[in-house]
Chains A and B, each alone.
Chain A
Amino acid sequence: MKQIFVRPDRCMACKGCETACAVQHSADKTLFSAVLQSPPPMKRLFVEAAEGIRMPVICRHCEDAPCLRACISGCLYRDDHGFVRRRKERCIGCWTCIMLCPFGVITRDREKHIAVKCDRCHRLDVPACVNACPTRALVMAEPEEVAADRRQKAVRAESGG
């Protein structure tokens, strides 16, 4: 199954992915109503930067997910597609998931007092963030394809090409 992959060298830090994510998780799912919504909708991914690099940090929906294992109230679960999602009504706001997520992509909804995380836009064929990226810094690909591509690159690098 295809996963979201990040190509940091392509990221322009325009934050279009962040905006699209928040809009997708708003009531009307349009930008113009989302910007007027109160409390405002929340994004689930974060464009971060360090010296010489900028990239969106996204939920990997890890196959052995620390957040899922840590969730004591049964809020987090893995759905039929393999996405780690929430049963919102079960979240008790203990934030153990935040503590354990290696990517720091789980945040707090300060109004509803529950954890907020990526749901991989499970109703959409292509997630909103990927769809919004103008430079294809976010792409959908099979992990096997990505690995094969990496192997090819490694070989080419070895041969000096």
Chain B
Amino acid sequence: MSDQGKSTDSATLSAIGEARKAGIETVWDRYQAQVPQCGFGETGLCCRHCLQGPCRIDPFGEGARTGVCGADADVMVARGLSRAIAAGAASHGGHAKHLAHTLLKSAKGEAGDYPLKDEAKLRAVAGRIGIKTEGREAREIAVDVAEKALQEFSEKESPLVWAATTVTKGRVETFLKLGVVPQGIDSTVAESMHRTTYGVDADPVNILLGAVKCALADYAACHMATDIADILFGTPQPVVTRANLGVIKSDSVNIALHGHNPLLSDIIVQVAGEQEMNELAVAAGASGGINIVGVCCTGNEVMMRHRIPLATSSVSQETAILTGALDAMVVDYQCIMPALAGAAECYHTQLITTMPIAKIPNALHIGFSEAGARDCAKEIIRAATDAFKKRDPARINIPGISSAAFAGFSTEAILSALSLVDKDDPLKPITDNIASGNIYGVCLFAGCNNVKITQDANYTAMITELVKNNVLILATGCASGAFARHGFMTPEATEKYAGDGLKAVLTAVGQAAGLNGPLPLVLHMGSCVDNSRAADIAVAIADKLGVDLNMLPVVASAPEPVTEKAVAIGTWAVAAGLPTHLGIVPPVLGSRTVTEVLTSTAKELFGGYFIVETDPLKAAEKLLSVLGERRRGLGLGS
């Protein structure tokens, strides 16, 4: 693979060049060592669910046609996909549960470092999930919200509140009719593991419906994580920051926060801003003090709430270390490559793990607890400052490249900007412009960067096509990292790339919001759990128009997906009624039935379905055509 095939981003390419010079292995080298990858895995035709296996099915029909137990290709592929979704839901569930426990401790006065920062959000969430708020103290309400949240994890006699109260009525009816209503987050994950183990569910369509139920549990977990993070750390409001490796500063103690949960990272940002810590850094010789940068989704969380710049995203996480100026890489959980330890060993960088379930050999483990969050943050900053003293100036090579990035467009922030255009009916500017065609449709970009795709290539190719055709762009997770790196999260990008209709809308809202120019081309909605925010926007538009989600000109795309979490999110997007594009072929092609259910039957059942297209220009074309179809369905011009 040539370097040009690895990334489209010049800062990342510079770091890759540095790695080659220093003989340091990166994700691209490790991928090359795996090629060619096993076709059975690629097509989903292997099974290791029992000790009579592993079994493989010959897709050409000459060898085995079933596993030892008799499971055919359809069953094997459906089971594999179902387990991937269960793993995704378990991850978002773990994230949400962690926040719920903290909310409870906060409300009970057992976690002094976690005040209830956003009381308005607390009251709004409580009201939505049926908790009385009138005349009650915030703390009392928070106890109830936290307890109700924690009840969502085990099996209840009723649907998940965080799913049922956040979707359209039409969706609830569809989910009930198809029997895919989850009644517990963890219990649904456990059910998925049960029905896909040796000798349980052997009906591929039934397995897939179970997987949809699990994906909806994932949705509830995502929504809960967003809600509670906002309550504890504040609902994001638009901020301007920068993105790319150039945000690492040679004169500062640089600390990268990597992972997903804001629980520790938000506290580190708060503590790093204090005089005592700054003096510590200056005393160590860092005239610039402490410089916190983000990586991956925890980077998104602190970017939205504290204007922390984003250094890089998940696939290129090692490049932050390759600058030679990163003093500590602090990680919580999810998307953290074990390879970071190897890269850190080649430099002075201190890799710091913080969560009991996510340790890495050769990293420094500083265990996090809510009760001692600030102390933990201080210990981490001290360790980073110690590492700074060991920095080798000769090895510093920070690519001086970064782009401005407007971030933090929570649902609340978007509605508040819109209310400046129309105070009484904030959604009207959106729905009117969808009707007139100024906004042709909406596309949510989510997901990751995948080493198999030249980093960001699919994102940049797709967005330019879509916005030219007046599609409003929302982004979360590492999708927003891609757009931020390439300057798409700016008003200038709106001027440069947006079609006339879209430009007019973004300019009108931007002017009303006092920006003296248009809104950025991409509305950054947060981390990957914050896909729930995009869902909220879609639900609000659907309710306003009086139609269900499966009729809206709204699509989703994960052009470079990696994780099981992305598979879960993609699946709930489909269940929510959204045509959902994938730029990587998921491991399902070994089964015609499963492939057909995902790409076609799902449309009849849910309205949403998967569109698998690896060519970004063709993908954009397909999404535009789907948006046109949806517009015609609503009687709008296409």
A-to-B contact residues, CB < 8 Å: 10-15, 47-49, 54, 134-136
Binary contact track B441-481/A, C-beta < 8 Å → 1, others 0: 00000000000000000000000000000000000000000
B58 contacts across to A, CB distance below 8 A: 134-136
B41: A residues at CB distance < 8 A: 14
Consensus secondary structure, chain B interface: loop
* Closest chain A CB from B46 CB (angstroms): 8
B63 touches A13 (CB 8 A): no
**Once the chains bind, are B64 and A14 in contact (CB under 8 Å)?**
no
Q: Contact: A13 with B60, CB < 8 Å? A: no
8 more CB-based (< 8 A) A-B contacts, given A136-B58, A136-B63: A11-B39, A12-B42, A13-B37, A13-B38, A14-B56, A15-B38, A134-B63, A136-B62
Pair B36/A47 contact, Cβ less than 8 Å: yes
Contact of B38 among A10, A12, A48, A136 (CB under 8 A): A12
A residues in contact with B36, CB < 8 Å:
13, 47-49, 54
Complex contacts, B60 vs chain A, CB 8 Å: 10, 135-136
Between-chain CB contacts (< 8 Å), 13 pairs: A10-B60, A12-B38, A12-B39, A13-B36, A13-B38, A14-B41, A14-B56, A49-B35, A54-B36, A135-B58, A135-B62, A136-B60, A136-B62
Please determine whether A14 and B40 come into contact, CB atoms closer than 8 angstroms.
Answer: yes
B587 an interface residue at 8 Å Cβ cutoff? no
List chain B residues, Cβ under 8 A from A12: 38-40, 42-43, 59
- Per-position binary interface string of chain B over residues 71-92, scored 1 when its CB falls under 8 Å from any chain A CB and 0 otherwise: 0000000000000000000000
Chain B interface residues (CB < 8 Å from chain A): 35-43, 56, 58-60, 62-64
Contacts of B35 in A (CB 8 A): 49
A-B CB proximity, top 9 nearest: A12-B39, A49-B36, A13-B36, A54-B36, A14-B38, A135-B58, A136-B62, A134-B63, A134-B56
List the A side residues contacting B39 at CB < 8 Å. 11-14, 54
**Cross-chain contact A135 with B38 (CB below 8 angstroms):** no
Question: Residue of B at shortest CB range from A139?
Answer: B62
Q: Which residue of A lies closest to B55 (CB)?
A: A134
CB neighbours (8 Å) of B40 from chain A are 12, 14, 134
Contacts of A136 on B, CB cut-off 8 Å? 58, 60, 62-63
Q: Is the CB of B64 within 8 A of A134?
A: yes
What CA separation (Å) do A138 and B132 show in the bound complex? 70
Q: Which residues from B are CB-within-8-Å of A134? A: 40, 56, 58, 63-64
Contacts of A14 in B (CB 8 A): 38-41, 56
Residue numbers in B under 8 Å from A135 (CB-CB): 58-60, 62-63
**Closest CB-CB distance, A141 to chain B, in whole Å?**
14
Residues of B within 8 A of A54 (CB): 36, 39
Residues of B within 8 A of A10 (CB): 60, 62
Give every chain A residue within 8 A of B59 (Cβ-Cβ).
12, 135
Q: Which of chain B's residues have a CB closer than 8 A to the CB of A48?
A: 36
Give chain B nearest CB distance to A135 CB in angstroms: 5
**Assembled-state Cα–Cα distance A48/B40 (Å):** 16
What distance in Å separates the Cβ of A35 from its nearest Cβ neighbour in chain B? 15
Instruction: Give bound CA distance, A60 to B329, whole Å.
Output: 51
Cα of A150 to Cα of B154 in the assembled complex, Å: 62
Bound-state Cα–Cα, A49 to B64, Å: 24
Q: Which of B39, B42, B59, B64 has the most CB of A within 10 A?
A: B39
CB distance from A27 to the nearest CB of B (A): 24
Q: Provide the residues of chain B in CB contact with A13, threshold 8 Å.
A: 36-39
Min CB gap B582→A, angstroms = 21
Q: In the complex, which residues of chain A have a beta carbon less than 8 angstroms from the beta carbon of B64?
A: 134
List of A residues within 8 angstroms of B56 by Cβ: 14, 134
Minimum CB–CB distance for A17 against chain B, Å: 12
Closest A residue to B57 using CB positions: A134
**Which residue of B is nearest A133, CB measured?**
B63
A49 to B35, CA, bound (A): 7
Docked complex Cα distance between A124 and B2 (Å): 42
**How far, in Å, is A39 (CB) from chain B's closest CB?**
19
Residues of A within 8 A of B62 (CB): 10, 135-136
Contacts of A49 in B (CB 8 A): 35-36
Contacts of B63 in A (CB 8 A): 134-136
CB proximity of A142 to chain B, nearest CB, Å:
19
Q: What separation, in Å, do the CA atoms of A41 and B74 have in the docked complex?
A: 37
- Identify the closest chain A residue to B38 (Cβ): A14
| Closest B residue by C-beta to A9 | B60
In the complex, A125 Cα to B40 Cα: how many Å? Answer: 27
Q: Which residues of A contact B38 (CB under 8 A)?
A: 12-15
- Which residues of chain B come closer than 8 Å to A11, judged between CB atoms? 39
Q: How far is the CA of A134 from the CA of B53 in the complex (A)?
A: 14
How many whole Å from B12's CB to the nearest CB in chain A?
A: 24
**Which residues of the partner chain A approach B43 to less than 8 Å between Cβ atoms?**
12
| Most chain A beta carbons < 10 A, residue from B36, B40, B63, B64 | B36
**Which residues of B lie under 8 Å from residue A47 when comparing CB positions?**
36
Q: Please give the distance in Å from A87's CB to the nearest CB on chain B.
A: 34
CA distance A49 to B41 in the complex (A): 16
In the complex, A12 Cα to B60 Cα: how many Å?
10
Q: How far is the CB of A130 from chain B (nearest CB, A)?
A: 12
Residue of B nearest to A47 (CB): B36
Instruction: Give the docked Cα–Cα distance between A15 and B39 (Å).
Output: 10
- Bound-state CA distance A54–B34 (Å) is 13
A10 CA / B37 CA spacing, docked (Å): 14
Cα separation A49 to B43 with both chains bound (whole Å): 17
B35 nearest CB neighbor, chain A only: A49
- Looking at A12, A13, A49, the one whose CB has the most chain B CB atoms below 10 A away is A12
Q: How far is the CA of A14 from the CA of B56 in the complex (A)?
A: 10
CB distance from B57 to the nearest CB of A (A): 8
Nearest-CB distance from B228 to chain A (Å)?
44
CA distance A149 to B171 in the complex (A): 57
**CB of A40, distance to nearest CB on chain B (Å):** 16
A14 vs B63: C-alpha distance when bound (angstroms): 14
Smallest Cβ-Cβ distance to A14: which chain B residue: B38
CB distance from B5 to the nearest CB of A (A): 12
Shortest Cβ distance from B166 into chain A, in angstroms?
42
In the bound assembly, the distance between CA atoms of A48 and B58 in angstroms comes to 20
Alpha-carbon separation in the docked complex, A13 to B56 (Å): 13
Inside 8 A of B42's CB, which chain A residues have their CB? Answer: 12
State the Cβ distance, B2 to closest chain A Cβ, in Å: 14
